[in-house]
Chains A and B, each alone.
Chain A
């Protein structure tokens, strides 16, 4: 069965430091990949997505993610974190097949980011 693993439950970084959030997936074939962000008390907002082509994907708010097929990973990065980036981040995958399950978005359990001033 497909699964998404975010190994870090909680990460703390200082404002201005770089950030990398990890995401690994287990799938029969390379799925479509997404990163969402959830600010406190809010719904989820899409940061970026990977479908095909260039394995380095740029998103909103200065985030990027790199797809590595050999590692089944899709890690999220930001070179310099701002206090407003404090939120919970979710990695998600969707199957590529055209069969009956391609509606399904499978989410990781999230990584909570705390930003110290």
Chain B
């Protein structure tokens, strides 16, 4: 099992450019999440999905869009990147909620927006 994988690992964008981050999990988990991690801020939830074809907003959704067309994949899109979106992005998945909410994390994508 590869667990949770993220592509790419690093990316540098110019302001206004767009890109898509890909997250894939092979654990057949229903729930998937996108977080951003910034120094001193911990992890903040951007968007999440409770199943194939569903998405919902988290704490900091502005400037991002997501799609979950297949159960194993969760895509995070930046339509027009801004320097404030420079961050490390983590994808996670979990088998359920509450006591099943043990989230498994990918290795992260380090994004710099110039």
Are B42 and A110 within 8 A (Cβ)? yes
Task: Please give me the residue from chain B that is nearest to A49 by CB atom.
Answer: B102
> B1-24: contact bitstring with A at CB < 8 Å (1 yes, 0 no)?
000100000000000000000000
| B 99-114 contacts with A by CB, 8 A | 99, 101-108
Are B107 and A43 within 8 A (Cβ)? yes
> A39-54: contact bitstring with B at CB < 8 Å (1 yes, 0 no)?
0011111100101000
CA distance A41 to B42 in the complex (A): 15
Q: How far is the CB of B66 from chain A (nearest CB, A)?
A: 14
Residues of A within 8 A of B (CB): 9, 32, 34, 36, 41-46, 49, 51, 90, 94-98, 102-105, 107-110
Are B40 and A43 within 8 A (Cβ)? no
Interface size on B, residues (CB 8 A): 24
Are B99 and A103 within 8 A (Cβ)? no
CB contacts (< 8 Å) of A44 on chain B: these are 43, 90, 92, 103, 105
CB contacts (< 8 Å) of A49 on chain B: these are 102
CA distance A104 to B99 in the complex (A): 11
CB contacts (< 8 Å) of A105 on chain B: these are 33, 45, 101, 103
CA distance A103 to B35 in the complex (A): 14
Q: Known A-B contacts: A43-B90, A96-B99. Give 17 more (CB < 8 A).
A: A32-B101, A42-B107, A43-B108, A44-B92, A49-B102, A90-B42, A94-B97, A94-B99, A97-B98, A102-B98, A103-B97, A103-B101, A104-B45, A105-B33, A105-B101, A107-B43, A109-B41
